[in-house]
Amino acid sequence: MNWSPAIRWWCRDAALLEQECCADRYLISYLSLKEVPTYASVSTGQVQPGKLDAYLQLWRDSVAPAAQQLKGFKGAYVLIDREMEKGMTIAIYETKEDAQAVQTSGQFQELLAMLGDTLVRESVVRSGYEVSIHI
C-alpha cells in the first residue's frame, strides 16, 4: 500500500505498515493533531486554606455550566495541587478573540465570583496561549 509520509513517520517500522489496524489508529492520531482549537486561557490561583473541596464543588455546580455557555468555549481542565492548595484552569476556546472577550466583557470576573470565598482573588493570574498540538 502507498502510505502517506505521516503514516510512515508514525509507524516507523515497515512491518507495522502492513497491519491496517495500526495504520488506521495512527492516521486517526495524525488527523486529530490537525483539528485543534486555537487558543487556551490558563488561570492559576491560591485556594483559601481548607476550602479546596468547596472550590471544586462550586466549579462543578456553577462555573462549569456557565463556562459552557461562553462564545467559542470548547472545554476546560481544572488542575489542583492538594498540598499547596492551588488551582489551575486551562480553558480551550475556538479563537483568541473568544478568549479575550471573556476577559474584557467581565465574564471572567463573573466566573470568579461564582467561586465565592474559596479563592484568594488577588492571587489569580490569567494568560493566553496558542494551542499548537493536541494529542
In this predicted model, what pLDDT tens digit does every residue of 54-93 receive, in sequence order? 999 999 999 999 999 999 999 999 999 999 999 999 999 9
- pLDDT tens-digit readout, 43-53: 999 999 999 99
Beta carbons of 37 and 128 less than 8 angstroms apart: no
Q: State the Rg of the chain over Cα.
A: 20
Give the residue, 21 or 134, on which the prediction is more confident. Answer: 134
Beta carbons of 131 and 36 less than 8 angstroms apart: yes
* Run of H or E residues at 21: helix 20-34
d(CA 66, CA 62): 6
| Cell numbers describing residue 118 | 474559596
Nearest residue to 50 (alpha-carbon basis) of 106, 119, 126:
119
Average pLDDT over the chain, rounded to an integer: 82
- What is the mean pLDDT of the segment spanning 102-130? 95
- Inform me whether the pLDDT recorded for 100 exceeds 50: yes
3-state secondary structure of 105: coil
Question: Partners of 127 in the beta sheet?
Answer: 42
Q: Does domain 39-130 bear CATH number 3.50.50.60?
A: no
- What is the mean pLDDT of the segment spanning 4-30? 48
- Inform me whether the pLDDT recorded for 17 exceeds 90: no
List the domain boundaries for the chain.
Answer: 5-34, 39-130
- Inform me whether the pLDDT recorded for 27 exceeds 60: no
Question: Partners of 67 in the beta sheet?
Answer: none
Do the bridges between strand 73-81 and strand 39-47 make them parallel or antiparallel, or are there none, so unpaired?
unpaired
SS (H, E, C) 81-114: ECCCCEEEEEEEECCHHHHHHHHHCCHHHHHHHC
